């Protein structure tokens, strides 16, 4: 039983449910209490002890159903295991004699255990043998779909395929009809094993595959992402947003140690005639970040801006106030569109208004100064996301200087690599002099770091 539960825990981890050793101990204790006979209760007990949110419950429920969708014999596995080992031993010791007997014209008795099992059509025994063999081949270590072949053959080997082949060779000579039957049964067995392995892959390998995919996705350049990956990337960005929220939404009140707040102390102790039993200390309130984001949505930068805006607008708990502006040849405010609509719709609307034009940083900055300069306060961080390629038009770096002077920080995120800055029509070096930070921001990982650093300066 314990073996099976351990395998289930691995499968649960594969399904994305965090199962720590302590939780697995709790689950074991719970299972010891409720027993294994009633599957519904067992399911409830495992869900209660292992899952920690509604999503996890659903995932774990699916995982449970998949895990126990195999036929019953799994539960009797320890015995099956013993049988199997015993019969394998018997098999080895008895093989010379059985060969002799086979020559004596009693083919049924002379066959190896696997062949006998297949011929007798004992389905339960076959399933049990597959289960124990997959245990022996440590199927729960399977990680990638490319490993399917090797695990299938390992399981078949553990079941005694070699012996079966010998039997087959012999039978073809002595009893062709029986050999034909056996061959058919072997094909069926191969299929059953393949199914077992596929199920194992579905159970145990999900987490690994997901990690690998996310890792690749995190480091893929956002601008050149494929269409089918956009949805996955959005999910990844949401994950990043959740992580940042968890990290930075912790209380910002921190005591300024050692400074007595005389007023509050006196008021609090009025009941004791002003004898200060309870002291109150001065606190320092930290500002929540205020962010003004200017995003280039022309051509190649558009995709990066899309993900950046999605990230910034998913940070409600952390960021007090976000105002977003999109520009290519001119600039408009897009905060409301982003707040009200789903990311897909909002982006489509923004694109139809200002997107895909040739970028003109100069006139966009003029637009900003004309209408929105008042949005900047000394607590504001201004983030400009763009490649600073202004088609050789006037860059108006003087406006950027004024923006920089009015705000707390000015951060420029450039999707292009450092090497490209200043070449061709890139105005990056001229803008860079007025920025507090300029950094490359081409992948999800860089995006996460950039936003994390910006929020961290307020902590």
Partner 1 sequence: MADQKASTSIEAVESGLAAQGYIASRQIATAVYLSQQIEKPILVEGPAGVGKTELAKAIAAWRGKKMIRLQCYEGLDEAKALYEWKYAKQLLYTQILKDKLGEVLGGAQTLHAALDQLHDFGDVFFSKEFVEPRPLLQALEQPGGCVLLIDEIDKSDAEFESLLLEILSDFQVTIPELGTVSAITPPTVILTSNSERDLGDALKRRCLHLHIGFPEQRLEERIVESRVPGISQTLRRQMVGFIHEIRSLDLKKLPSVSETIDWARVLVLLQASELDTDIVKDTLNVLLKYEADIEAATPQVTTFIAKAARSNVFG
SS3 257: strand
Q: Among residues 105 and 273, whose Cβ is nearest to partner 1?
A: 273
Q: Among residues 44 and 166, whose Cβ is nearest to partner 1?
A: 44
Q: Among residues 55 and 191, whose Cβ is nearest to partner 1?
A: 55
| Span of 25-33, 67-75, 290-298, 366-374 interacting with partner 1 by CB under 8 A | 25-33
Q: Among residues 53 and 146, whose Cβ is nearest to partner 1?
A: 53
Return the sign of the alpha-carbon dihedral for residues 337, 339, 345, 348: positive
In whole angstroms, what is the distance from residue 90 CA to residue 92 CA? Answer: 5
In whole angstroms, what is the distance from residue 418 CA to residue 407 CA? Answer: 25
Residue 436 per-residue DSSP state: S
In whole angstroms, what is the distance from residue 360 CA to residue 358 CA? Answer: 7
Site string for partner 1, 203-242 (x = CB under 8 A): ----------------------------------------
From 1, 2, 6, 36, residue interacting with partner 1 (rule: CB under 8 A): 36
**Alpha-carbon separation of residue 405 from 398, 400, 401, 447 (angstroms):** 11, 9, 6, 25
Q: Among residues 239 and 335, whose Cβ is nearest to partner 1?
A: 239
Q: What element of type H or E holds 322?
A: strand 321-327
In whole angstroms, what is the distance from residue 385 CA to residue 295 CA? Answer: 5
The structure tokens listed for 38 are: 């009633």
In whole angstroms, what is the distance from residue 77 CA to residue 8 CA? Answer: 14
Q: Among residues 22 and 173, whose Cβ is nearest to partner 1?
A: 22
Q: Among residues 63 and 388, whose Cβ is nearest to partner 1?
A: 63
In whole angstroms, what is the distance from residue 459 CA to residue 455 CA? Answer: 7
| Span of 18-26, 204-212, 320-328, 340-348 interacting with partner 1 by CB under 8 A | 18-26
Per rule CB under 8 A, is residue 33 in the interface with partner 1? yes
CB of 445 to partner 1, least distance (A): 24
From 1, 2, 6, 20, residue interacting with partner 1 (rule: CB under 8 A): 20
DSSP string of 380-396, one letter each residue: EEEEEES--B-TTS---
SS3 289: coil
The structure tokens listed for 301 are: 């930068």
From 1, 2, 38, 391, residue interacting with partner 1 (rule: CB under 8 A): 38
Per rule CB under 8 A, is residue 57 in the interface with partner 1? yes
Site for partner 1 in 265-304 (CB under 8 A): 271-272, 275, 277-278
| Span of 7-15, 22-30, 191-199, 207-215 interacting with partner 1 by CB under 8 A | 22-30
From 51, 142, 201, 384, residue interacting with partner 1 (rule: CB under 8 A): 51
- In the block, residue with structure tokens 């490209």: 420
SS3 333: strand
CB of 248 to partner 1, least distance (A): 13
From 3, 6, 35, 213, residue interacting with partner 1 (rule: CB under 8 A): 35
User: Is residue 9 within 8 Å of 82, Cβ to Cβ?
Assistant: no
Per rule CB under 8 A, is residue 29 in the interface with partner 1? yes
Query: Alpha carbon 313 to chain centroid distance?
Result: 21
From 3, 79, 246, 371, residue interacting with partner 1 (rule: CB under 8 A): 246
Per rule CB under 8 A, is residue 41 in the interface with partner 1? yes
Q: Among residues 33 and 100, whose Cβ is nearest to partner 1?
A: 33
The b-or-e profile of 431-447 (16+ CB within 10 A means b, else e) is bbebbebbebbbbbbbb
Q: Among residues 247 and 449, whose Cβ is nearest to partner 1?
A: 247
The structure tokens listed for 371 are: 């209408």
Per rule CB under 8 A, is residue 188 in the interface with partner 1? no
Interface contacts to partner 1, rule CB under 8 A? 18, 20, 22-23, 26, 29-30, 32-38, 40-41, 44-45, 47-49, 51-54, 57, 246, 250-251, 271-272, 275, 277-278
């Amino acid at each position: 039983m314990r073996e099976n539960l351990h395998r289930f825990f691995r499968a649960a981890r594969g399904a994305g449910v965090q199962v720590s050793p302590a939780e697995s101990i709790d689950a074991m204790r719970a299972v010891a209490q409720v027993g294994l006979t009633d599957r519904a209760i067992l399911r409830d007990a495992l869900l209660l002890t292992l899952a920690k949110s509604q999503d996890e419950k659903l995932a774990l429920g699916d995982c449970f159903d998949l895990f126990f969708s195999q036929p019953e014999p799994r539960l009797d596995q320890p015995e099956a295991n013993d049988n199997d080992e015993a019969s394998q031993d018997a098999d080895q010791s008895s093989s010379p004699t059985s060969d002799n007997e086979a020559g004596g014209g009693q083919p049924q008795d002379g066959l190896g255990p696997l062949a006998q099992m297949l011929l007798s059509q004992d389905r339960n025994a076959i399933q049990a043998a597959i289960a124990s063999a997959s245990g022996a081949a440590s199927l729960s270590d399977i990680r990638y779909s490319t490993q399917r072949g090797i695990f299938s053959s390992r399981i078949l080997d553990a079941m005694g395929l070699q012996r079966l082949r010998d039997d087959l060779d012999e039978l073809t000579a002595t009893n062709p009809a029986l050999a034909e039957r056996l061959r058919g049964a072997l094909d069926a067995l191969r299929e059953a094993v393949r199914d077992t392995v596929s199920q194992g892959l579905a159970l145990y390998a999900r987490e690994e595959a997901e990690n690998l995919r996310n890792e690749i996705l995190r480091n893929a350049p956002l601008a050149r992402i494929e269409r089918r990956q956009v949805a996955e990337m959005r999910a990844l960005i949401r994950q990043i947003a959740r992580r940042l929220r968890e990290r930075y939404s912790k209380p910002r009140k921190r005591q300024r140690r050692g400074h007595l707040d005389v007023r509050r102390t006196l008021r609090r102790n009025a009941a004791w005639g002003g004898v200060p039993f309870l002291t109150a200390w001065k606190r320092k309130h930290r500002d929540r970040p205020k962010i003004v984001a200017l995003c280039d949505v022309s051509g190649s930068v558009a995709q990066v801006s899309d993900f950046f805006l999605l990230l910034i607008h998913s940070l409600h708990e952390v960021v007090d106030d976000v105002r977003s502006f999109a520009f290519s040849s001119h600039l408009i405010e897009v905060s409301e569109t982003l707040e009200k609509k789903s990311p897909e719709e909002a982006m489509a609307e923004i694109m139809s208004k200002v997107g895909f034009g040739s970028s003109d940083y100069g006139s966009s900055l003029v637009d900003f100064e004309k209408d929105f300069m008042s949005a900047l306060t000394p607590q504001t961080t201004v983030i400009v996301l763009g490649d600073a390629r202004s088609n050789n038009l006037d860059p108006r770096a003087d406006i950027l200087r004024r923006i920089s002077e009015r705000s707390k920080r000015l951060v420029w995120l450039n999707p292009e690599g450092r090497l490209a800055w200043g070449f061709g029509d890139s105005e990056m070096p001229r803008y860079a002099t007025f920025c507090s930070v300029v950094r490359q921001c081409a992948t999800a990982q860089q995006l996460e770091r950039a936003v994390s650093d910006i929020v961290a300066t307020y902590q």
